[in-house]
Amino acid sequence: MKSRLIATAIAVAFPALSHGQVAELLAAPLNSYEQLYNRVQKQVGADLAQARGYTGKGAVVAILDTGFEGSHPELKTQFASTQMFDASTGKYVAITDGNGHGTHVAGIVAGSTGTGYSYGIAPDARVLPIKVFTSSTWTASSTALAAGLKNATANNSVSVISMSLGGSGPLGGTFETALRNTVNADKLVVVAAGNSAGTDPQWPARYAKESWAKGQIVAVGAVDANNQIASFSNRAGDTANWYLVAPGTSVLSSYRGGSYAYMSGTSMATPVVAGAAALLEAAWPQLKAGQVAAILFQTATDLGAPGVDAIYGRGLLNVDRAMQPVGTLSVPTSGTKTVSTSATVLRTSAASWSGLRAAAAAGQFRGVSVDAFNRDFAVDYGAGIRAPARDGMAALLATAGRPLWVNEQVARDGSRFLSAVEVERPHGSFAGEDEQRTLVATSALFKLAGGKELALAGGSLAGRYFGLAELDGTLANPYLGLTRSAAQLAFGLSRGAWQVKAGVLDGGLNAAMAGQHGPAERASGGRALVGELNYAVDDAAMVGAQLADVAEADGWLGASGSAGLGLSSARTRTLTAHGSYRLSDAVTLAAQYSIARTSDARGDALLAAARGVRSEAFALGLVGHGNFLVGDRLSLTLSSPMRISRGTAKVEMPVDITAAGDPVFESRRVPLASTSRELKLALDYAMPLSATTSLSWVAALRDNADHVAGERDVQAGMVYRAAF
């Protein structure tokens, strides 16, 4: 059976044109006429998408219509073929249009910029002219439509097919077979809903509701400049889930004789949607036709009743939103892991901050992320690289205000025991049964026969057995601090002027110990094996060397990242030389220098590894007791925290998505060396006021803070402590 279709267009008077001034949006500048007369672009947000560089370059839209005027300035450079297929005769002919309807539609899809009074939704796309209407009656048979579909489907470059036409009933088996084949060939078909003001779309738009359409057919209705359904437009009806509306009243576009015309109809709304589909296809050629339609449906602006309704269907086409991410952005990785882009954060340490900061500023962490449709979007992962946390006055005061129970005992043989427990009374001072106690720190040193000793510690006192830390906490080896909240198990042996120490620091062990005394937060931390040899030169001087093998979990050199920018493990071997000299009974001069090599640093996302990393740290200090008052304590230190001197990180950066939908990675070597050196001068003086109270002053000056040249940090504060 043959059905006859009428091109659905309503001609509107062509008014005089005048100049106007609007900001230019495209790389090829719009002229003043285009800036003034193309409200459709703004109504659907196409101008915003074009301003971000989405212009449809590479996409081809087949338009089944009355033909095109080949010499029109809007279209003469936009054709995907030098000839036009005439479906009614089955022959290729010159590109012409004796009606003007097809020329108008083509200009809405892909009219070029800077050439006249209008321009297309996808001005850099190409259009393939397929004539399906006879020149004598301007009607089209279902047979001609089927032939036109076959021609478009056979063209591998075509991704979108636009049909601004419709009939009152189904179009017969020949056409339906051709349409099914088009769907199966992964083409998106955009069809006018019709101009009879009906409750349902006309055919072939109404085929969109069929299961075999696979969501690849989009029915398009028309709205006016106020986003109200046009009086002539067929409504969504039973095709609501596959129905969009777009501007379709008084739309300016190219016309016969090199002219321009305002026309109205769902014929005009349809190429607006087809142009938007071309933008998507050009930007992300890996998208399937069903995905393109789904994006247009999901990003549409809801109109009418909330949600999908029988008038507006999915709502108004929103090109700007369609070209933006849908759902949660994630990081493409070489494995099966899914990592959220927003959670891709690296909290650096002082050792790693300045090098990574410089690399991020140089664009080394720029790549792409993907949305729910596997579309790639440019992103700078360097924004997730955060500066290290600083030990400021607020943290010091907060620590000073903690209610602690401290118990210290010294045995006759020199063994020492110390514990600090934080007490919380959430329900008031007298609700003793509700007290929560958390072990903050503990230390036990057992003096054994034959110069042997056993040293146990947990919390902030772990590691104080080694090096200069027992002399003053500011002189502790910073590499041992990489174990984070570790527990200490160590042994010592003294023979004459020589002393040997060996032990382990373990984060998991500390969590278990703390859990015996109350709620404790289990941190994976790390583990360190420590060996130390000290030699007493005389009664006043001591020198020593320390070897440590530190294994970090979920971090490297103190930096801690999420899955996207994290390293799952790292191993650092360090050699430290230290020494002290007692200037007087009350004052000791001490110094230490550490060098280290970090290896086996591996990750499974953006950061793949850290290689050849060398680092160093030093400290020089004066420590005094009882200098001015009985029981006072003074420390003055000049130090440089851990600093990477050389090394690189291997970054596997996703930079593109192939037409097959697979991520493309670029392997980059990111330098990690610090760009400067921090020097920190710190003063800490504490004096007792009574048996239960004390007052202390602290001050610190950091030059090139966190090894960033020119960064300065000055802190000072006073702390009053009282025991109750």
Closest CA relative to residue 216, chosen from 286, 294, 151:
294
DSSP H or E stretch at residue 686: strand 679-688
Looking at residues 501-528, what average pLDDT do you find?
A: 63
The confidence score (pLDDT) of residue 13 equals 31
User: Does residue 136 carry a pLDDT above 80?
Assistant: yes
- Sorted by sequence, the CB contacts under 8 Å of residue 672 that are 6+ apart come out as 352, 355, 356, 359, 610, 613, 644, 646, 647, 648, 649
**At which of 306, 322, 338 does a domain end?**
322
What's the CA gap between 24 and 702, in Å, rounded? 49
Closest CA relative to residue 161, chosen from 273, 79, 255:
273
Domain total for the chain? 2
Which positions are catalytic? 65, 101, 267
What's the CA gap between 142 and 165, in Å, rounded? 11
Per residue, the 3-state secondary structure of 641-654, as one string, reads EEEEEEEEEEEEEE
User: For the purposes of burial, counting CB atoms within 10 Å of the CB of 154, is it exposed (0-12), middle (13-18) or buried (19 or more)?
Assistant: exposed
What's the CA gap between 409 and 414, in Å, rounded? 10
Looking at residues 141-147, what average pLDDT do you find?
A: 95
Residue 233 lies in a domain: yes
Percent of the chain beyond pLDDT 70? 87
What would the pLDDT profile of 650-702 be if each residue is shown by its tens digit? 998 999 998 888 899 999 999 999 999 999 999 988 888 887 777 888 899 99
What's the CA gap between 286 and 294, in Å, rounded? 14
Looking at residues 371-395, what average pLDDT do you find?
A: 83
- Lookup: tokens for 343: 């959670």
Tell me how crowded residue 214 is: count the other CB atoms within 10 A of its CB.
15
Contact (CB, 8 A) for 653 and 668 = yes
Note the pTM of the prediction, 2 decimals.
Answer: 0.82
The confidence score (pLDDT) of residue 522 equals 40
User: For the purposes of burial, counting CB atoms within 10 Å of the CB of 169, is it exposed (0-12), middle (13-18) or buried (19 or more)?
Assistant: exposed
- pLDDT band at residue 608 using 50, 70 and 90 as cut-offs: confident
Question: 483 phi and psi, to 5 degrees?
Answer: -75, -15
Tell me how many helices (H) and strands (E) the chain has.
12, 37
What's the CA gap between 277 and 398, in Å, rounded? 58
Residue 13 lies in a domain: no
Residue 60 lies in a domain: yes
Residue 702 lies in a domain: no
Do 297 and 405 share a domain, yes or no? no
Residue 383 lies in a domain: no
- Lookup: tokens for 106: 């083509």
The confidence score (pLDDT) of residue 514 equals 45
Q: Are strands 663-671 and 633-657 parallel, antiparallel or unpaired?
A: antiparallel
**At which of 265, 292, 322 does a domain end?**
322
Looking at residues 495-524, what average pLDDT do you find?
A: 66
Do 301 and 450 share a domain, yes or no? no
E-only strand ranges, 432-536? 436-447, 452-459, 487-495, 498-506, 526-536
Among 81-85, 283-287, 510-514, 636-640, the range scoring the smallest mean pLDDT is 510-514
Do 408 and 303 share a domain, yes or no? no
- pLDDT band at residue 428 using 50, 70 and 90 as cut-offs: very low
Do 668 and 522 share a domain, yes or no? yes
Do 305 and 420 share a domain, yes or no? no
Tell me how crowded residue 443 is: count the other CB atoms within 10 A of its CB.
22
Do 305 and 418 share a domain, yes or no? no
**At which of 652, 674, 696 does a domain end?**
674
Residue 697 lies in a domain: no
What's the CA gap between 622 and 194, in Å, rounded? 89
What's the CA gap between 495 and 472, in Å, rounded? 25
Helix (H, G, I), strand (E, B) or coil at 91: strand
- Lookup: tokens for 113: 């910029």
End-to-end CA distance of the chain: 100
The confidence score (pLDDT) of residue 549 equals 96
The confidence score (pLDDT) of residue 590 equals 97
Looking at residues 200-215, what average pLDDT do you find?
A: 97
Closest CA relative to residue 242, chosen from 218, 206, 271, 223:
218
Residue 264 lies in a domain: yes
- Lookup: tokens for 585: 């009974």
User: Does residue 44 carry a pLDDT above 60?
Assistant: yes
Do 523 and 426 share a domain, yes or no? yes
What would the pLDDT profile of 279-329 be if each residue is shown by its tens digit? 999 999 999 999 999 999 999 999 999 999 999 999 999 999 999 999 989
Bridge partners (DSSP) listed for residue 571:
551, 599
- Lookup: tokens for 396: 């010091």
- pLDDT band at residue 24 using 50, 70 and 90 as cut-offs: very low
Return the half-sphere exposure (C-beta side, CA atoms, 13 A cut-off) of residue 309: 14
Q: Which amino acid is at 104?
A: H
Range of the domain at 464: 393-582+593-617+641-674
Looking at residues 385-389, what average pLDDT do you find?
A: 88
What's the CA gap between 56 and 280, in Å, rounded? 7
Percent of the chain beyond pLDDT 90? 65
The confidence score (pLDDT) of residue 659 equals 85
User: Does residue 516 carry a pLDDT above 90?
Assistant: no
Do 132 and 226 share a domain, yes or no? yes
Residue 265 lies in a domain: yes
The confidence score (pLDDT) of residue 393 equals 52
Looking at residues 241-258, what average pLDDT do you find?
A: 96
CATH of the domain at 142: 3.40.50.200
What would the pLDDT profile of 148-197 be if each residue is shown by its tens digit? 999 999 999 999 999 999 999 999 999 999 999 999 999 999 999 999 99
Helix (H, G, I), strand (E, B) or coil at 283: helix
The confidence score (pLDDT) of residue 610 equals 86
